[in-house]
A and B are shown apart, each in its own frame.
Chain A
Amino acid sequence: MKRVLIIDDEPLARMVLLEYLQGMPGFEVIQECGDGFEGIKAINQHKPDLVFLDVQMPKINGFEMLELLEQQPAVIFATAFDEYAIKAFEAHAVDYLLKPFSKERFEKAIEKYLAQSATQNKKQTAELLETAALSPAQHERIVVKTGTKVKIIPVHDVLYLEADDDYVSIHTAEGAFLKNKTMSFFEQMLDARHFVRVHRSYIVSISEITRLDPYEKDAHIAILKSGAKIPVSKSGYARLKQVLGI
């Protein structure tokens, strides 16, 4: 028996999936969730075999929800209209349903899911997130998890990012938050006009920089409004000069 979770903020949209799934032998719906927070809880608790996931949902969207999970489940996306999401789906061959979808189309998606191994399914979801996170809709905020709570950081609240082993530490006025991503991921995701990678281990919001002091040979130190001192490498200094136009 495959255990299925449905996450969608519209009750009627969940109803369609429920109805279609009732005709499927071997599938059992264990829970329905109305938003991403409920979704995270339910996934961590039940470890479902398959998740039907809407993209546009309150507070955190489907992609952001997945980012907050330690382990990616197998996912079939259901969305009405989202150019970037669809591009991401296509690039990673994850199956997706465009609302409204027919029962035949739904059955095809189930067949595709059954044809692939569980590890393959999960790997696809993970790869998809890397692409989806680069879409313009995701550029405005970063979703992190602190303990059991979810924190949404608007990008303009970010002071600087610091590499921290396998994590990146996101520094804001409220403190630092860890996210399981790489520096080069953030370098790509963040708007290059406002964030500059000044060092192998640092990305800085240029509006935070108050002073640039020389330090040793070829190196500099950036002093931020918050008082933090950030090392600037030779190539980082060149990039910074380019963005600032000096």
Chain B
Amino acid sequence: MSNHTSSASSLKLDWAFAGCGAAWGILQTYIIHSFGFEWYIATIDGLVSTILLSAACWLINNNLRYYQPGKGSYINLVIWCLFLAAASMAGSRWLLPLIYSDSSYLNFLSQSLIIRFFTNFLAIGWMAMISMVWFSQIDQKENEKRKSEAEGLARDAELYNLRQQLQPHFLFNSLNSINALIGFKPDEARRMIHQLSDFLRGTLKKDDQQKVTLMEELQHLQLYLDIEKVRFGHRLNTEISCDTACGEAMLPSLLLQPIVENAIKFGLYDTTENVTVSIRGEVEDGYLVLMIQNPYDPQTSRPRQGTGFGLSGVQRRLYLLFARNDLVETHASDNIFTTIIKVPQL
């Protein structure tokens, strides 16, 4: 698309170039006529000089299209302009006598060579300057485009990494539980292997940009919760409430996972009692509002609770997707830690 616009604007430049050339030729013809020469010879002179000048301009423009002079080589550019001005002047000096050989005209021609040289130099220099600005601007635009593309890629990679922070602790402990179950409850061991595989597969195949319904997200989460319940037995209870309307609400895939992981981790490690982790979903003013609660002990809770990887990762992800920093909130009161996430429904 931008390629298309740049070729369109380059066409516009070509027309402007042709227009300037025509105006230049007409002006020169008029000036030479005003020195007392016939319209015929004035037109020939204007035409020949303008064509030569245009050729020089085209050359310098084409050169600059592929080669932008660095700061040190501006002098080369000036030398080029001088050379081209001299060449176009010499061309006129050589071609015009072949077409018209009136002695007063030839006399006028040789006297006007110096002024022709300088006007040519000015015109070519002007052209060089315009080309330089024009092409460096195009370069800059392309750079900017590339930069924003690179940023987009980096963002994708970052999202990928955030998701890949699979908790090795969880994985190894689950395998250890399976190891225990194989001995005396092989059926349960088998079921846990299936749950673990389904959970891992779900984690790997989801696309970060992809949005899923809350219902799908909760189904995936349920696999995780079932595994944790096998590990921690009666100590872990979960309450999930979500009506049909909010089940249909969309959220980025695997957004809830790290929050619930955090809630379970701090719930289970902050107390030796039984722990209830609750997840509540509501749709409110165009937002899907998710509230996750877990018990905690304000006396002993580690300070990292509020800033753990889970939460900051979720915050970062929401920022990348919605460019907003106010979508995650946490509260702690009465031994209950609450995390609230708002997902804009577009």
Contact = CB atoms under 8 A, between A and B. Distances in A.
A157 to B, nearest CB: 9
B231 A12 contact: yes
Contact of B176 (A35, A99, A141): A99
Contact of B303 (A15, A19, A80, A154): A154
Interface residues of B, number: 29
B226 to A, nearest CB: 14
A12 B176 contact: yes
Interface in A94-129: 98-100
A152 B269 CA distance: 13
A156 interface: yes
Interface in B76-119: none
Interface string A73-103: 0000000111000000000000000111000
6 contacts: A10-B233, A13-B180, A15-B184, A80-B173, A100-B172, A100-B178
Nearest to B183: A19
Residue with the highest number of chain B CB atoms closer than 10 Å, among A12, A35, A99: A12
B180 A56 contact: no
Contact of B302 (A16, A34, A56, A154): A154
A141 B175 contact: no
Contacts of B272: 34-35, 37, 58-59
B72 interface: no
Contacts of A11: 232-233
Interface in A20-49: 34-35, 37
Interface string B152-183: 00000000000000001100110111111101
Contacts of B53: none
A37 B271 CA distance: 11
Contact of A81 (B168, B231, B270): B168
B232 A10 contact: yes
- Give the interface size bracket for A toward B: 20 to 34
Given A11-B232, A80-B172, 12 more contacts: A9-B232, A9-B268, A12-B176, A12-B231, A16-B183, A58-B269, A81-B172, A82-B169, A99-B172, A99-B175, A141-B300, A154-B301
B230 A12 contact: yes
B304 interface: yes
B169 A56 contact: yes
Interface string B293-305: 0000101111110
Given A12-B176, A12-B181, A59-B270, A140 B231 contact: no
Given A99-B173, A99-B175, A100-B176, A140 B302 contact: yes
A19 B180 contact: yes
Contacts of B304: 140
Contacts of A56: 169, 269
A57 interface: yes
A168 B183 CA distance: 48
Interface in B162-212: 168-169, 172-173, 175-181, 183-184
Contacts of A82: 169
Interface string B273-309: 0000000000000000000000001011111100000
A89 to B, nearest CB: 16
Contact of A154 (B184, B232, B270, B300): B300
A192 B185 CA distance: 51
Nearest to A150: B300
